[in-house]
Chains A and B, each alone.
Chain A
Amino acid sequence: MSDQSNQTTYWKSLNELAQNKEYEKYVEREFPENASEMTDQVSRRSFLRVMGASIALAGFASCRKPVQKILPFSRMPEDIVLGEPLFYASAMPFQDSVTGLLVENNEGRPRKVEGNREHPSSGGGTNIYHQASVLNLYDPDRSRSPLRGGEQATLADFVLFAEEHFADRNQPILFIDEASSSPTYHRLKEQILEEFPNAEWVTYEPFSDNNALEGTQIAFGQRLRTVNHYDRANIVLSLDNDFMSPQNNKNSVEDTYKIAETRKVSSTDDEMSRIYCVENSFSNTGSFADHRLRVKTSQIPSFLYALAARLSQDVDGLSSFEEISNDFSDHEWIDILADDLLENTENSVITAGSQHSPAVHAAVAAINMALGNIGNTVTYHELPFGSDRNENESFTAAINDLNSGTYSTAVILGTNPVYTAPANLNIQQALESVETAINLSDYVTETSRLSNWHVNRAHFLETWGDGLSYTGQRSIIQPQIQPLFGGISEIEFLDIILNGDDPVGYDLVRETWADVIDGDFEDQWEQILHDGIDPDSGFEATSVSLTGDLSAAIQDDLANGPIDGIEISIKPDNKLFDGRYANNSWLQELPESMTKVTWDNVALMSPATARNLGIDPERSFSSDDVPVVRITANGTTIEIAAWVQPGHADDSITLTTGYGRENIGRVADGVGVDTYPLRTTSNMFFQSAEVEATGTTYEIACTQDHQSLEGRDMIRTASLEEYKENPDFATYQSVHGYQVPGLEEAEAEGDSKGPISLFDESYGPDYEPQWGMAIDLNSCFGCGVCTIACQAENNIPVVGKREVARRRVMHWIRNDRYYAGDEENPDAYHQPVPCMHCELAPCEQVCPVAATTHSDDGMNQMTYNRCIGTRYCANNCPYKVRRFNFFNYSKEYLTTGDDPEIIQMAMNPDVTVRFRGVMEKCTYCVQRVNRAKIKAKNETGSPKPVDGSVETACQQACPTKAISFGDLTDRNSTVSQHKMDSRNYTMLEELNVRPRTSYLAKLSNPHTELKPSNQENHSQH
């Protein structure tokens, strides 16, 4: 963080460098044989050339040696110290919001993103998309040049074309873009719409909050963004809204840390919020909730209206619902929920998933209003870039017009409608028929292939840009590196259309900000760049009043009722979202947070539904083959692997999008099944379907083959009430009813460190810090960002589906997910498991060559150079956290393609890339620890960094701050405090391996009258 102060001067100079045309010409002239290098795709050379001062190359002017892969910094650019990372603030756009980030740069290349603590959208945390974005930057399959009719062209060609083509300002043009929050983008958009009077502009996102906006339109007569302030809520009711997961919530990081904040418990005086979750599939939010009710997606409106009807008896403003009576009216949840909500008026949040109809959202708004939540826990905000139309409807209309030949030119920015648009729109045909189709995208997509012009888009880490966070904080996106493949950003693209000129993103952004910034522009600009946020920004809450006719709005829902028979619910994928991350191998290989499936999408169904379809709900332990089902809807049939999800609603099947790609990239191609063909304009999210088992099977690579805890005590839980009665519920004594064997004997001998041991118990010396970690299971909701962050930090290779299916996934920190209770309606628990860094480590005892040993600061270290790969350590690890390089994974991963240098740039120079045949595992991010220790020693003379100055990658990325790490010799450090917490426990304490990583037991806050979904108490085995 302290490095931030350096950034502005540095970037200014880089920008100048990048603009140095004279210099480029000079180089091209001097190296005729390499001339293509400069204009061609990036190599390490050209990237370093930009980094290194021009003088460095000038020295080589007369040198005619072969291609030099690496050039030394013969004159070091300012602020760069080799081996010292630099951090720059930036922001990552995702649909129409951005999240504030810090980008770690190593030797001039962005390598890792972290959350920006100063930015409320992040609070220091990130989600999996943020962490994985670095790999997208270094994806060699990204489009590398503009294409004219599929033939390679240059950007100059496109600029020439655009200048000519867009000279006719009266032509009918259709712009289709994806949601963006960028002020510059919207400024240029306005200009274009002004300049081109016959242009139509529609925004299409396969998964947007359009329905929520429409809901506020119904309720308040305005399209307003809903912001839920979970930190102020005592009661949260989620109606099929997995708001903790990034695919369902653009603001998931902020919302998760805020809701986790309401559930942090450090003493028996603390209170927790209560979360109710009603949903069809088992989501992360559902697993985090205190009460979860499984209903079909199409039953959600009924549930909501029944609740509203019940509430209308006690509060005003819900008269539209008074008369409603349905299947849920007598449901035990309705009364209890209503009581709880009424007890906590002004302090509850009710939220519904964006897949639900505008009427549902309007009803939710009405209930929030009636309960007095609006203005406190729920606020509504006008979007500066908001459209006043139903975007999905205008998109449909625009495509129909396109099909009927209304437009001569279609410009498609970023989005990939050929793949994602509803199947009945025939967008493919429309694009084939339109005279000119121009597409800007990261990859050569389905849409690009149907376009006359494809322009390659630059990554957000490569370009200037800006954006607003979900709650309206303005940030500047600053490039960390020259575009690797010469792409341009969407603002530069718009500028080309507008001006037919070589665009300069930097100037475009500054132009926008010149209007926004008061006072001294340069000062403020640099300050905002430095902080990553404009402190004077943020949406104002709009005061709203219920104006709409709700009873009319809900008529459709009431008339239709829930779907009879089997419904399918199509949701954005946890990892690939709408398919935009399909070529990201980190995400593809990340176990899906509930199913733990990698490299595929599956049809989720309940055990009962599976049985009805003739599928055995019991998954074979010895085989990865799962049955395949055939799903028919809208006259389209897909075949997809069936996956039995305990806790899923019956007669409901959940599908996710983003898979089944062809010719996108090495990673994306041929993975999973495309589910978009099932979507139509009228049934975007859920609909009835015919489902049957095909009798065939398909191999699924799942990282967790066994789902039950088997009554073991790895996860310890209690309700808040139980915790208050017995704060020590998580101790071994409480769980088992007797003390850890050998502990009393040891205490009798005056040893308080643990049970008696035959081994040398010499601990690390006091003058060294003693590292330890505590993971608060009460804050973990299983998102998996720790795994991706760890992968990014520690150069962990991707191994591919086949190897994952063989159980050889390499993740150093995995997220175990257990179900407990009955299979129809279980509880789910998440438990991140890194190396435990045992003090009496069983792995260390058995290594024949002493390749894994203990450090003075209490870490269990792995010496790759010494390891011969007997795998004995992994066998003897009771936590099974050790990972073996069965093949030369890193080599495969880092040398594929024609220019492996690109993916290699994503590697952390401080972490060894492991060769085949060696064991590896979590190091507690020893490179970060040692950097901090060295710094502390230089500054204070003691190798003990102050608490908080060293964070592991998993800890840093975690949005809910579930992981604490630090020095155990410092009694005041957060981790020490956590370890003194009565909820602190270690896994497998009876083995006396004395893990340094411990867990804080999970608490829940169930309503006293509503029985928890799982009666079994897992601390009582």
Chain B
Amino acid sequence: MSKTYEYVPEPALVKGNHDFKDITAMITDINIRPTPKGWYVAFGIANMLLLLLLGSIGYLVWEGTGIWGLNSPVGWGWAIINFVWWVGIGHAGTLISAILFLFRQGWRTAINRFAEAMTIFAVMCAGIFPAIHVGRIWVVYWMFPLPNQMLMWPNFNSPLLWDVFAVSTYFTVSLLFWYVGLVPDLATVRDRIKSKIGKMAYGVFALGWRGSNRHWWNYEKSYMILAGLATPLVLSVHTIVSFDFAVSIIPGWHTTIFPPYFVAGAVFSGFAMVLSLMIICRKIYGLEDIMTIDHMEKMNIVVLVTGTMVGFAYIMEQFIAWYSGVEYEKFIFMMRAAGPYAWAYWIMFACNVFSPQFFWSKKLRRNVTFTFIISIIVNIGMWFERFVITVTSLSTDFLPSSWGYYSPTIWDVATYVGTFGLFFTFFLLFLRFLPMVAVAELKGVMPQADPHNYDEDGEFVPPKVEVPEPYKNQTNQ
């Protein structure tokens, strides 16, 4: 019996039948054209928030950790929550650029640059917190294994130390990966920009790229190697971040499910953040043909899958807590769902588990506004997830006498809000000065780049070139 399959071609990754020149212009003109007024407004706001961050950190260094709402038993609060949250967000970039690259997912090219930039800035935001949350910020460098006359090394047993290595490695590799990918596009901007200073600046960072075959060969190889290096990091960073909790003995922290659960959560929040940013940018910069609804839908599917994984983890945690028979473990999970922080737990649950379920509907996952709303909700939910994990376990652990409620102070909030200032300052600079889509790579996945004139059975098919509207009449004549 034979069965006939109907070939469903993938939708084109770039809509609008742009040619290569168009694409180059669409993207690099953003860097070349004069700065729009709106950018200054946004940059100004971001700068003010950045000042808020710097002010908060200054006050923190001056006064001490006590300006935050931390207490005994809750020794970690917003700082660690924010750290994990930003690191989680920083996951999407490398996942999109490295893993999807290795899996030959062409659609990644429209968003990988963008996502990687977001990753780097998110990791920068994240990196601030472990540094400033310590009591004596001026000796935080003791976390690094620096040779010293006392032969005093850090404690290699400590997950916090693993964090230092994991996050710094991740940041370095992400930055390199991003920069290597940028080189051909920097050269493009260099070639197109008129101003002398611009030519100089882009020229320096383009590392003398001339687009020769040899350059491309080296580029492809190094990109591949970096993608290979970055891939395990995607899994390792959040695994190690989860060890901060999982390696401890506190009920609700001491669970083996944490590494996969944290990685899934990280991808989940990272994709949501990319979506939030992408939806705004494609609109403002008119890149709807490049970052298409199809991209959005694909990402929404990832959000749905990871969101459901996270939901599974939540339920599994509850089950294991019950199944383990450990009194404290059972209690803490009961307290999460019904204790003093139940409000946070159910915000988390609603945002992370229920909200992505709407994406089972194709209509909804292709709805821009709806996607935007969900992406924001998911990020709120993921912040609360970290809140629930960090705070509830500490708040009601073993000895009932030591239980205590934690609430943040204005400085916790200011520091957190301030990191958005840092993030958006860098992100706006990125949007303004660097090609936000990988132009060279994008061209490689356009229909125009794949001029096969044969169908899947090897029959010749004349190229079906969609004729742009103004020319249609001429062709018919």
Known: A714-B399, A886-B64. A869 touches B160 (CB 8 A): no
Q: How far, in angstroms, from A105 to B405 measured CA to CA in the complex?
A: 42
Flag if B135 contacts A916 (CB, 8 Å).
yes
B297 within 8 A of A: no
Flag if B401 contacts A848 (CB, 8 Å).
no
Flag if A706 contacts B401 (CB, 8 Å).
yes
A25 within 8 A of B: no
Flag if B399 contacts A871 (CB, 8 Å).
no
Q: How far, in angstroms, from A876 to B252 measured CA to CA in the complex?
A: 12
A846 within 8 A of B: yes
Q: How far, in angstroms, from A622 to B244 measured CA to CA in the complex?
A: 26
Q: How far, in angstroms, from A880 to B401 measured CA to CA in the complex?
A: 9
**In chain A, what residue has the closest Cβ to B61?**
A917
Stretch of B68-76, B193-201, B363-371, B428-436 with 4 or more beta carbons under 8 angstroms from chain A = B68-76
Q: How far, in angstroms, from A488 to B402 measured CA to CA in the complex?
A: 45
A204 within 8 A of B: no
Chain B residues near A878: list those with CB within 8 A: 249-250, 397-399
Shortest Cβ distance from residue B254 to the other chain A in the assembled complex, whole angstroms? 10
| Residue interface mask A882-900, B partner, CB < 8 A = 1 | 1111111000000000000
Pick the contact of A917 from B135, B143, B398, B404 — CB < 8 Å? B135
Flag if A845 contacts B140 (CB, 8 Å).
no
Pick the contact of B340 from A622, A869, A876, A919 — CB < 8 Å? A622
Known: A705-B404, A712-B400, A918-B136. A884 touches B158 (CB 8 A): no
Which residues of B321-337 are within 8 A (CB) of A?
A: 327, 331
Chain A residues near B69: list those with CB within 8 A: 806
Which residues of B30-67 are within 8 A (CB) of A?
A: 63-66
Shortest Cβ distance from residue A301 to the other chain B in the assembled complex, whole angstroms? 37
B301 within 8 A of A: no
Known: A868-B136, A888-B64, A916-B64. A846 touches B159 (CB 8 A): yes
B26 within 8 A of A: no
Flag if A807 contacts B71 (CB, 8 Å).
yes
Pick the contact of A884 from B75, B157, B160, B161 — CB < 8 Å? B75
Flag if B340 contacts A621 (CB, 8 Å).
yes
Known: A704-B401, A870-B134, A876-B250. A846 touches B160 (CB 8 A): yes
Flag if A870 contacts B401 (CB, 8 Å).
no
Flag if A710 contacts B161 (CB, 8 Å).
no
Chain B residues near A869: list those with CB within 8 A: 65, 134-136
A872 within 8 A of B: yes
B139 within 8 A of A: yes
B106 within 8 A of A: no
Known: A876-B248, A880-B399. A885 touches B331 (CB 8 A): no
Q: How far, in angstroms, from A872 to B250 measured CA to CA in the complex?
A: 11
Chain A residues near B157: list those with CB within 8 A: 845-846
B465 within 8 A of A: no
**In chain B, what residue has the closest Cβ to A919?**
B135
Flag if A918 contacts B135 (CB, 8 Å).
yes
Which residues of B132-169 are within 8 A (CB) of A?
A: 133-137, 139-140, 142-143, 152-155, 157-161, 164
Flag if A848 contacts B160 (CB, 8 Å).
yes
Chain B residues near A842: list those with CB within 8 A: 248-249
Pick the contact of B401 from A621, A833, A874, A888 — CB < 8 Å? A833
Chain A residues near B404: list those with CB within 8 A: 705, 807
Pick the contact of B135 from A712, A714, A867, A987 — CB < 8 Å? A867
Which residues of A777-811 are within 8 A (CB) of B?
A: 803, 806-809
Which residues of A619-642 are within 8 A (CB) of B?
A: 621-623
Pick the contact of B158 from A847, A916, A919 — CB < 8 Å? A847
Pick the contact of A866 from B142, B158, B398, B399 — CB < 8 Å? B142
Chain A residues near B331: list those with CB within 8 A: 710
B247 within 8 A of A: yes
Flag if B403 contacts A705 (CB, 8 Å).
yes
Known: A621-B340, A884-B75, A887-B64. A710 touches B158 (CB 8 A): no
**In chain B, what residue has the closest Cβ to A817?**
B401
Which residues of B231-248 are within 8 A (CB) of A?
A: 244, 247-248
Flag if B72 contacts A846 (CB, 8 Å).
no
Flag if B135 contacts A849 (CB, 8 Å).
no
Chain B residues near A623: list those with CB within 8 A: 405
Most chain B CB within a 10 A radius of its CB, from A842, A849, A876, A988: A849
Q: How far, in angstroms, from A816 to B159 measured CA to CA in the complex?
A: 31
A850 within 8 A of B: yes
In this complex, the interface size class of chain A, counting residues with CB under 8 Å from chain B, is: 35 or more
Chain B residues near A884: list those with CB within 8 A: 65, 70, 72, 75, 135
**In chain A, what residue has the closest Cβ to B153?**
A850
Chain B residues near A875: list those with CB within 8 A: 73, 75-76, 248, 250, 394
B407 within 8 A of A: yes
**In chain B, what residue has the closest Cβ to A888?**
B64
Flag if B134 contacts A917 (CB, 8 Å).
yes
A80 within 8 A of B: no
| Residue interface mask A237-281, B partner, CB < 8 A = 1 | 000000000000000000000000000000000000000000000
Which residues of B189-237 are within 8 A (CB) of A?
A: none
A708 within 8 A of B: yes
Most chain B CB within a 10 A radius of its CB, from A704, A875, A876: A875
Which residues of A702-730 are within 8 A (CB) of B?
A: 704-710, 712, 714
Q: How far, in angstroms, from A818 to B403 measured CA to CA in the complex?
A: 12
**In chain B, what residue has the closest Cβ to A992?**
B249
Flag if B155 contacts A850 (CB, 8 Å).
yes
Chain A residues near B248: list those with CB within 8 A: 842, 846, 872, 875-876
**In chain A, what residue has the closest Cβ to B75?**
A871
Pick the contact of A849 from B63, B143, B405 — CB < 8 Å? B143
Chain A residues near B153: list those with CB within 8 A: 850
**In chain B, what residue has the closest Cβ to A871?**
B75
Chain A residues near B402: list those with CB within 8 A: 816, 879-880
Flag if A803 contacts B66 (CB, 8 Å).
yes
Shortest Cβ distance from residue B409 to the other chain A in the assembled complex, whole angstroms? 9
Chain A residues near B63: list those with CB within 8 A: 887
Most chain A CB within a 10 A radius of its CB, from B248, B394, B399, B400: B399
| Residue interface mask A313-325, B partner, CB < 8 A = 1 | 0000000000000
Chain B residues near A887: list those with CB within 8 A: 63-64, 66
Q: How far, in angstroms, from A918 to B327 measured CA to CA in the complex?
A: 32
Known: A808-B72, A866-B152, A872-B75. A846 touches B400 (CB 8 A): no
Pick the contact of A883 from B72, B161, B396 — CB < 8 Å? B72
**In chain B, what residue has the closest Cβ to A842?**
B249
Known: A850-B154, A867-B136, A916-B135. A621 touches B405 (CB 8 A): yes
Known: A816-B401, A866-B142, A875-B248. A882 touches B72 (CB 8 A): yes
Which residues of B88-127 are within 8 A (CB) of A?
A: none
**In chain B, what residue has the closest Cβ to A806?**
B71
Which residues of B278-334 are within 8 A (CB) of A?
A: 327, 331
Chain B residues near A818: list those with CB within 8 A: 400-401
Shortest Cβ distance from residue A966 to the other chain B in the assembled complex, whole angstroms? 25
**In chain B, what residue has the closest Cβ to A831?**
B401
Chain B residues near A871: list those with CB within 8 A: 65, 70, 75-76, 135
Q: How far, in angstroms, from A848 to B159 measured CA to CA in the complex?
A: 7
Flag if B155 contacts A849 (CB, 8 Å).
yes
- List, sorted by A's number, 14 A–B pairs whose CB atoms are closer than 8 Å: A712-B400, A714-B400, A809-B72, A846-B157, A846-B248, A849-B142, A868-B140, A868-B143, A869-B136, A872-B158, A875-B73, A884-B70, A884-B135, A886-B66
Q: A707-B400, A848-B158, A871-B65 are in contact. List 20 more A-B contacts (CB 8 A).
A: A705-B405, A706-B396, A808-B72, A817-B401, A818-B401, A842-B248, A848-B164, A868-B135, A868-B140, A870-B134, A870-B160, A871-B135, A872-B158, A872-B244, A874-B72, A874-B73, A880-B73, A883-B72, A916-B135, A988-B398
Using a CB–CB cutoff of 8 Å, the interface residues on chain B facing chain A are 63-66, 69-73, 75-76, 133-137, 139-140, 142-143, 152-155, 157-161, 164, 244, 247-250, 327, 331, 340, 394, 396-405, 407
List 10 tightest A-B contacts by C-beta distance, closest first.
Answer: A869-B135, A917-B135, A886-B66, A871-B75, A816-B401, A807-B71, A880-B402, A917-B136, A848-B160, A850-B155
